Amino acid sequence: MAVLPKRVAAGVATLALAFGVVAGTELPAGADTPRPATPVSAHPYSGVPVNATQPRVEQASSTKKKKSKKRSKGAKALAYAKRQLGDRYRYGGTGPGSWDCSGLTMKSWKSAGKKLPRTSRAQSRYGKKVKRSQLKKGDLVFFYSGKSHVGIYAGKGKVIHASRPGKPVAYIKIKYMPYAGARRPG
């Protein structure tokens, strides 16, 4: 019985060595870390001398640089709000998992690097005033007299908002609530 484990161990070691050559690493006996293997074409059994120089294939460097799309802070705030769609409403909620209207806008803009006040009324005095015709994604849109409700403009005449108990964070058309102004924090 003692012979079988030795044979298995020897077979495993052989497979590990063979795999190391194919995968590009060898693990010599007693070594703790892998080192680069000898290239297959320069392997002693390949017929190619080890010191033979092979032509280098240089890759053409692309002169075009990738344009990194820099998202605006408003777009980042909107993206955060979109990830909260379906979360429940909770009065005073600032997430995660439950929100009120101003808690949602505050955390959305925080994710974009802007600190907003906690309440919708305080947020209605923050940032630059924006005309309804000039709304951009991420703008804060206020509703009702006293600006007691706020949502994040999502484009195409809609906002994302946390409205009331029993209703999850959702999209709604601006025209369904009494518009009271807009601000651009970023």
For the stretch 8-26, pLDDT in tens is 555 555 544 444 444 444 4
Catalytic residue, chosen from 77, 78, 101, 154, is: 101
pLDDT of residue 29: 53
The angle subtended at Cα 32 by Cα 28 and Cα 35, nearest 5°, is 55
- pTM given for the model: 0.64
Q: How many alpha carbons fall within 13 Å on the CB side of residue 164?
A: 2
> Is 51 part of a structural domain of the chain?
no
> Active site includes 161?
yes
Report the range of poorest mean pLDDT among 20-34, 86-100, 159-173.
20-34
| 21 against 56, higher pLDDT | 56
Catalytic residue, chosen from 107, 137, 149, 183, is: 149
Residue 30 to residue 107: CA distance in whole angstroms:
54
pLDDT of residue 70: 79
pLDDT of residue 53: 53
Mark whether 153 and 105 lie in a shared domain: yes
pLDDT of residue 77: 98
For the stretch 69-95, pLDDT in tens is 678 999 999 999 999 999 999 999 999
Mark whether 33 and 77 lie in a shared domain: no
Residue 21 to residue 41: CA distance in whole angstroms:
11
Catalytic residue, chosen from 161, 162, 174, 184, is: 161
Mark whether 12 and 99 lie in a shared domain: no
Residue 35 to residue 21: CA distance in whole angstroms:
11
For the stretch 95-153, pLDDT in tens is 999 999 999 999 999 999 999 999 999 999 999 999 999 999 999 999 999 999 999 99
Mark whether 38 and 82 lie in a shared domain: no
What is the residue range of 78's domain? 73-184
Distance of alpha carbon 124 from the chain centroid:
29
Indicate whether 157 pLDDT > 60.
yes
